[in-house]
Structure formats: C-alpha cells, structure tokens
Amino acid sequence: MRHLTTGLLLVAAIASGVYTDTRGRCRTVYSLSRVGRPRAIRGSEVRLGYFSVASTKFLSMFDMTVRTCHGVELPPSSCSLGWRKVLVPPFEQFKVVAVKRKLFYLESTGTRSYLNCAFYRQVHPTSRRYHTEVPNPQPPNTP
C-alpha cells in the first residue's frame, strides 16, 4: 500500500507542476524500454504504464526517442555525468511516429489514466484529473 500511495502522490506532484518551471514545454529525451522491445506499430497509441527515467543525451544503448510534454526534469545528481534526466510519467500517452530497426520514436498526444483511486479522491476531493467520474455522495438527511 505504501508503494501505491507514493506513486500516486508522485503523479499528483508532477501534474501540479510543483517540481518544474518548464511545465508544458515539450522536450526530446532518450530511454530504454523496460520490458524489452515493445510491440507497437507506426500510428498506434501507447502508454509506458510506468515511471521512466530518460536522458537528454542519446547513448547507443537507448531504444526509444520520446517527445514528452509532461515529463519533469530531475535535479542534477553526481551520477548524471553532465546531462539532465527527465521523469516521464506513466499517464502520458504517445503516438508511435516511427519504428526503425530496433528504435522507436514516440510523440506525446496527451494523458490517459484508468486509475480510480479512493485515496486520491479523499486527499483531493475536487480534482477529477486522474480518476474516472464518480458521483458525489449525497449528504445524509438531517431534521
């Protein structure tokens, strides 16, 4: 449960723009597909479905070029070797614009999530951003 709560709060923080001053700015980053070669054809819509840490510098081991508009730049660390890292959220949706040999080129088309989290509704009762529509409970009748 703790892992799910942490992930949900991280998603909420990314969406609010708290951790970035470049919210809304799209950028090209490079990443490894975590699950091996994804099965995607040109023109299809995909979601990574997990948080992906991507680099602003291309290395030969990367197999995905991602144009993200919802990714958040991470603070520099001693192991980043001079390039920046971007956290791509699991709710960002992409269109496969090209598949060349073993390389995939993805471009952001917006966001999509199937989460229907009761915890998030308790913390943010007026937000409907990351869960499906749920009718508001009626207040009990009081005399």
Whether residue 106 is contained in a domain is answered as yes
Whether residue 54 is contained in a domain is answered as yes
Instruction: Give me the domain span that covers residue 46.
Output: 22-114
Tens digits of per-residue pLDDT, 48-76? 878 888 888 888 878 889 999 888 888 77
Distances (CA, A) of 34 to 5, 50, 132: 22, 9, 27
Query: What is the C-alpha separation between 65 and 104, in angstroms, rounded?
Result: 6
Whether residue 123 is contained in a domain is answered as no
Query: What is the C-alpha separation between 142 and 124, in angstroms, rounded?
Result: 26
Give the chain's domain count.
1
Q: Which two tokens stand for residue 29?
A: 């980053």
Whether residue 39 is contained in a domain is answered as yes
- The confidence band for 8, taking pLDDT boundaries of 50, 70 and 90, is low
Nearest Cα to 70, choosing from 114, 12, 121? 12
Q: Which two tokens stand for residue 66?
A: 């991602």
Tens digits of per-residue pLDDT, 91-122? 888 999 998 877 889 999 988 766 555 544 55
Whether residue 38 is contained in a domain is answered as yes
What's the mean per-residue pLDDT of the chain?
71
Whether residue 6 is contained in a domain is answered as no
Query: What is the C-alpha separation between 17 and 140, in angstroms, rounded?
Result: 37
65: CATH: 3.90.176.10
